[in-house]
Amino acid sequence: MENPWLLLALLSALAIAFISKIVFKTDQKLGPPGPKPWPIIGNLNLLGSIPHQSLHHLSQKYGEIMLLKLGKFPVVVASSPKMAEQFLKVHDAAFASRPPALAAGKHISYDNSDVSFSPYGPYWREARKILMSELLGTKKLDQFEQIRVEARRSFFSRLKALSGKPVVLREHLSRYIMSTICRMVMTNEYVGDSSIIDDGGMAEMMRDWFVLTGVFNIGDWIPWLGPLDLQGYVRRMKAFRKKSDSFFGYVIDDHIARRRDGADKDFVDALLDLAEDPNAQLHLTRDSLKSLIMNVVLGGPDTSITTVEWALHEMFRQPRIFERARAELDAVIGRDRWVEENDFTQLPYVDAIIMETFRLHPIATLLAPHYAIQDCNVAGYNISKGTSILINTWSIGRDPNTWDAAEEFLPERFMGKQTDMTGGNFALLPFGSGRRICPAYNLGLKIVRTTLANLLHGFEVELEEGMRAEDVSLEEQYGLATNPKHPVSIIVKPTLPAHLY
């Protein structure tokens, strides 16, 4: 070639192209495996109506850690205890935040100002601290024990009055647990027939909160489709916001009025004190007050209700479990009292039922999404800043490398073992783990344990006449908490001395 500079330029271009190709391929290998995304929608087409099941089936092909594109956003899914530990413990600080632009965070959580969905940082730390010190810490929970006892006795008294009649337990559990938490948080009875909202209206708000905070809203992942609201979720979120504004705004105003009268203080009053303190590290607006109160009042009950429901569904399919649990309760508790919170060190089989329910029917089948606040290498894979992380606890509970007979409900698998349920065992994560573990896990365990144990101890619980064990459905209704889609109708008959009810 006559021009050596042209030859040099061509050779340089070829070299650069070759090196770029190698680097590109290498970079590709450094990301987790996953299905090839489509233009615009990414892998949204692979998510069915029960997303955690869709992701579980994908993990069978792509492995325990996989990369998806939902719309234009990268999402990494962890489906094994080993990978959950990587995100929730080993690299917890890098993934402790929440995705910033979800519609639920904007419309339901008052611009991400609650503890569940607020980004990781000073606001979240201070908000969580006030929750623990004023409501959910061990000392406070001990102070509130009598409230829980009274609400529980009232619940069992109402069940006794329905003896022999068909009962859909969810409705009664909802009323009882909602009443318990409302009394702990707000003191006054704001829910009931003569109050600002009745039991049915509050139960509807609670269901909407769990469904709408857990949905896969297309506009979150394909932002230019957001204004179209193709699924109608944003419209429902805005309607929910109006209801929550009305109810929680009333609670705040009523507390402000009562404070002038020198009434006893509760959790809402503690928040109001903080909001009025010019030196407080946590700046609380009226909206953030509503959000923090709502977080506990609506977020607390359904997790307990769901666990008790799933436990009974599984036990109805295996009556032998009822028999063994009752035998343990009769031997340890006797027939002259109810089960109390401090009895559970002596009730390993009832506790095993609860653990097995958490395993096979986790409260949150997908933990609330985590979010990478920095680039990070996880198990040899590069995870870029801005990636959302989903921990599939439903898949972890069915991991054949961790659990024998993983699809079977076998409480016996936990007998004779010390099993942590509070974030230290990454094969069993009912409340999450790490910095973003559910702050109410201690309260949730107390309510689930005493509710289920006393139902088994104080009542003969049977299916409605004409329904067989094999008719009990395990089909799921997806949300932030995943409920039985078809609640069973049951018959309860009291078995303890009448004066106990």
Amino acid in position 263: A
Give me the domain span that covers residue 307: 34-500
The partner residues of 460 in beta bridges, in order of sequence, read 493
Q: Specify whether the CB–CB gap between 32 and 66 falls below 8 A.
A: yes
Which of 177-191, 412-426, 444-458 has the least mean pLDDT? 177-191
Write down the pLDDT at residue 134. Answer: 93
The partner residues of 378 in beta bridges, in order of sequence, read 381
Residue 325 domain flag: yes
Mean pLDDT of 264-272: 90
Residue 304 domain flag: yes
Alpha-carbon distance 389 to 369, whole Å? 6
Residue 25 domain flag: no
Residue 206 domain flag: yes
Residue 466 domain flag: yes
Mean pLDDT of 296-316: 93
Mean pLDDT of 277-294: 92
Residue-wise pLDDT tens digits, 320-376: 999 999 999 999 999 999 999 999 999 999 999 999 999 999 999 999 999 999 999
CATH number at residue 322: 1.10.630.10
Write down the pLDDT at residue 1. Answer: 42
Residue 51 domain flag: yes
Residue 173 domain flag: yes
Predicted confidence band of residue 198 (pLDDT cuts 50, 70, 90):
confident
Residue 425 domain flag: yes
Alpha-carbon distance 244 to 303, whole Å? 19
Confidence check: pLDDT of 475 > 90: yes
Share of the chain above pLDDT 90, in %: 85
Confidence check: pLDDT of 490 > 70: yes
Predicted confidence band of residue 302 (pLDDT cuts 50, 70, 90):
confident
Task: Determine whether the annotation assigns residue 376 to a binding site.
Answer: no
Q: Specify whether the CB–CB gap between 381 and 390 falls below 8 A.
A: no
Mean pLDDT of 25-41: 81
Amino acid in position 369: P
Residue-wise pLDDT tens digits, 75-87: 999 999 999 999 9
Write down the pLDDT at residue 191. Answer: 86
Mean pLDDT of 451-458: 98
Number of domains forming the structure of the chain? 1
Residue-wise pLDDT tens digits, 85-100: 999 999 999 999 999 9
Alpha-carbon distance 251 to 255, whole Å? 6
Write down the pLDDT at residue 7. Answer: 36
